[in-house]
Amino acid sequence: MLEIRHLKTLIAIQESGNVSSAARRVHLTQSAISHQIKALETHYGLPLLERKGRSYGLTDAGKRLAELGKTIFSEIRRAERDLSGMHENQSGSMRIALECHTCFDWLMPVMDAFRKAWPEVEVDLVSGFHSDPVSLLDDRADIVILSDALKREGISYHPLFKFEMLAVLPIDHRLKAKRFLLPEDFAEETLISYPVPDERIDLMREVLIPSGIRPPRRTAELTVAILQLVASRRGIAALPSWGLSNYLEHDYVIARRIGRKGLWSGLYAAMIREMSDHPYMADFLSLLKENCFSKLKGVVPI
């Protein structure tokens, strides 16, 4: 009766807080999830979801099953790693290139976990950015984390997640009363960003350039440095929501939506198609996804 897929679903619900986005996460329709849960509930004769108006969470029983799921998945991964160890190909290289500066923040723990699991694989971060990041796969990198998936033959793209870019303002900024910012609002501000060309900045490419607005820019290498500049009123920035929660909670800065619907961006992992068969690559990908969804607030599956 109980199947792996049920546990996957429950965990997705727990982590995303509602059925619809859990459905997206496990690549099913909302209907499928509802049916699954209902089947489980009638089987165990216990409610698994708490449907109290807006707040929608797992009951104790649901939580217990989600917990079961987590231990089971970690057991499965351990076993599958052991299996991979019985293969020949357990050594190799993994050069990771990042298009997105902020990604350093969550990539580190993933890399650590990976190194533990695959001590024979040589992991490297490829620094230096490129106008066509995919071309790095030709010689300099084995996997590229990038935000635009321009398909190219022979390259496989693995969607990681979607997230919102928020405008970051000092706490007492003149725009703080607005619920969301419009392109005009940026006209008189200095935009603080990573040191990359305009077209590599989502806010510029998607919002400001189309509106003909070109605010002065100032750059910093590290996310914390950008935030510090914002906090000290040197300008405003646009950063992924998931990198911000800590600073927002401590009232270091404030964040506002960009445009009525928000400015959304997606992250993908790209690699030479043949590479994705390598067990260690598959494992890295699953570590990657798992980590995003369980650790990063506000990320949504693509």
Partner DNA sequence: GTCCGATTATGAATGAAATTCATGAATTGA
Partner DNA sequence: TCAATTCATGAATTTCATTCATAATCGGAC
Contact call for residue 213 and DNA (CB under 7 A): no
Q: How many CA within 13 A on the CB side of residue 127?
A: 2
Number of residues interacting with its own copies: please give it, by CB under 8 A: 23
Interacting residue with DNA among 2, 15, 30, 205 (CB under 7 A): 30
- HSE-up of 292 (CA within 13 Å, CB side)? 26
Give the per-residue contact string, 129-168, with its own copies (x = CB under 8 A; - = no): ----------------------------------------
Among 26, 28, 68, 196, binds its own copies (CB under 8 A): 68
**Is 113 a binder of its own copies (CB under 8 A)?**
no
Residues of span 37-66 touching its own copies by CB under 8 A: 44-46, 60-61, 64-65
Q: Tell me how far apart the alpha carbons of residues 187 and 70 are, in angstroms, rounded to a whole number.
A: 48
Q: How far is the CB of 279 from its own copies (least distance, A)?
A: 8
Shortest reach from residue 170's CB to DNA, in Å: 25
Q: Which of 288, 293, 242 has the alpha carbon at shortest distance from 269?
A: 288
Given a contact cutoff of 8 angstroms between Cβ atoms, the answer to whether 243 and 250 are in contact is: no
Distance CA 93, CA 124 (A): 8
Contact 237, 186 (CB under 8 A): no
Contact between 7 and DNA (CB under 7 A)? no
| Contact positions with DNA (CB under 7 A) in 35-94 | 35-39, 49, 51, 53-54, 56
Of 31-39, 92-100, 238-246, 267-275, which part binds DNA (CB under 7 A)? 31-39
Amino acid of residue 217: R
Give the per-residue SS3 of 92-138.
Answer: EEEEEEECCHHHHHHHHHHHHHHHHHCCCEEEEEECCCCCCHHHHHH
Cα radius of gyration rounded to whole Å, the chain: 21
Shortest Cβ distance from residue 116 to DNA (Å)?
32
Position among 4, 7, 15, 18 found at the interface with DNA (CB under 7 A): 18
CB-based contact 96:37 (threshold 8 Å): no
Binding site for DNA (CB under 7 A): 5, 18-21, 27-32, 34-39, 49, 51, 53-54, 56
Q: Which residues bind its own copies (CB under 8 A)?
A: 2-4, 44-46, 60-61, 64-65, 67-68, 71-72, 75-76, 78-80, 82-83, 86-87
